[in-house]
Each structure stands twice: as structure tokens, then as C-alpha cells.
Homo-oligomer: A and B are copies of this chain.
């Protein structure tokens, strides 16, 4: 059975002792650039640097002691790995993370710093899945999928729940979409609180499988993506696709130059280091010309490849 608004509310209660209630930021200059009134739910200031910590925490804290005793496991090249490692450490259980060898050293170091065990694999879906299966067989750990998991989806929705509680009169709420976990949770939370709010997704044009899935009515596989928004490469699952079909109005696609421009503009005006995936949502809002609407934007995280950007300064 699909997760519900009640699951998001329960998740919010469950994870409250462990997560930051992130601020909602506004900027008159950014509003002027976006052509709307934007309320930024600042998940780049969340623990472990992204909204992912909410879902990982909800999943980890939902386990019974019996389920939790051999720890948790996932494959991830990004934010979910760090989030799960930290969530497991908070509960005092092991975390086993499978990461492609190609992952940037700083990401691997973050996961190790939270005390997780990292197993390397090749950067193919097959190698990830096989390696994870072996790890689980060996350890008895419970898999926590980064988005195809009801507890993770409900946890991800708690960001939107907090946003809607603070700003109960939003016209639109928007989140970036990769695997669809964040957007699914956001939609459940938003429509649970306020049935008439319009829920939008934001996706890179170069990784537009969710947009194609919704417009065709059949789940489409991701094509080999080539986008700066490296958090949004994954395709939907049946679970997230079903939720998005029911709740999401449109998925807005934006090209790469728009994403980079939105990221630089947001940095300039807010002095906040938001990640490319979050900039996708800002670029989508700008492209929509929402003209003075009150728009809630889930700023997914602050995961930026600073090594590349600082190279020009060294």
C-alpha cells in the first residue's frame, strides 16, 4: 500500500528529535528574478547536507530492534549514502554502503566519517545491485532504498509538511525529481495539508524521464543523462510513478544553461550554497512565469563539487 499523508505526519513526529527543522528563507532580489514570491525550504542546512537525512532517519527509526540488529545497507553514489550512514550512527547500528569506485573522495570520506562500512563496486546498475546483494547476504542488514521505500518517501515529505505549516497559503509547491522520492513525499504532504495547492516537479531537460513518463502515462526508462544536476539521474520506480501520477500537475524541464544561471543567481542573492538539483527547481519556477504566486520550493541540499569550482582560485 502506498504511503499516505498520515505516514508523513507520523514520520514528522518520529524524526523530530534527530533532524533540523530547517529555516524557510526569502529574498526580495531572488523574488524579483523569479517573478514570484518564493519560500525556500533550506534543506542544504539539514544534517548531512540534504533532505535525504529525513527519509533515512525515518526508515532507520522505523525498524524494530530485531530488524535493526544487523544494521542497514544501500547502494548510493551521493547524498543518501551519507544520510543513511549518519542516521544509522545515531541509532547505534551498522551501516553498509556500496559506492562506485568513481565517486569523489570527499563523498566517500563523509560516509566513512559517520562510521559506515563502504564496499566499492563498478559504476553500473548491475554491479551495484550484485554487490549490495552480497553485502546483505553476508551481514543480514536491511536494505534502505534511496527512494523506492515508503518510510523514505514519508520522511522526505516532512520538509514540505514543515513548509506548509509555516506558510499555509502557498499557491504552488515544487521539488526536483530524480527517482521521485522527494517529489512524492512533497506531494503527499502538500495535498494532505492543502488540497488545492498545485504540485510541480522540476527536472533537467537532459534527464527528463519523469516528464516523459507523466506525459505518456507509462513509466519511461532514464536515457543516459548528461546534466550538472547529478542528484537527478535516476529514473522513477513504480511506487513513485504512481504517486506522481495522482498528485503532480506538471513536470517542468529546464536546460543546462538555465540550471547554472539559476544556481549562480541564487548564490549571489541569498549567499546560500544550494546544489545543482535545487537550482533545477529555481530555474523551473523562473521559466513558468508564475507572476506573483506564492511558491514553496524544496531546496534539496547543498552538495556541490567545490573542488572543480575552486580550481580557478588555486
Interface residues of A (CB under 8 A from B): 44-45, 49, 106, 228, 257, 260, 263-264, 267-268, 271-274, 302, 304, 306-314
Contacts and interface: CB of A to CB of B under 8 A. Distances in A.
A258 to B, nearest CB: 12
Nearest to A268: B306
Q: Which 9 A-B pairs have the closest CB atoms?
A: A271-B302, A271-B273, A309-B309, A44-B271, A264-B310, A260-B313, A264-B306, A308-B312, A267-B273
Contacts of A263: 310, 313
A13 to B, nearest CB: 25
12 contacts: A45-B271, A49-B271, A264-B306, A264-B307, A271-B272, A271-B273, A271-B302, A272-B272, A309-B310, A309-B313, A311-B312, A312-B312
A44 B260 CA distance: 22
A260 B310 contact: yes
Nearest to A302: B271
Nearest to A310: B264
A114 to B, nearest CB: 11
Contacts of A307: 264
Contact of A273 (B257, B273, B308): B273
Contacts of A311: 312
Given A273-B272, A309-B309, A257 B45 contact: no
Contact of A257 (B268, B302, B314): B314
A45 B304 CA distance: 20
Given A267-B304, A272-B272, A309-B309, 18 more contacts: A49-B271, A228-B313, A260-B310, A260-B313, A263-B310, A263-B313, A264-B307, A267-B273, A267-B306, A271-B274, A271-B302, A273-B273, A308-B312, A308-B313, A309-B310, A309-B312, A311-B312, A312-B312
Nearest to A269: B49
A263 B308 CA distance: 14
Nearest to A275: B271
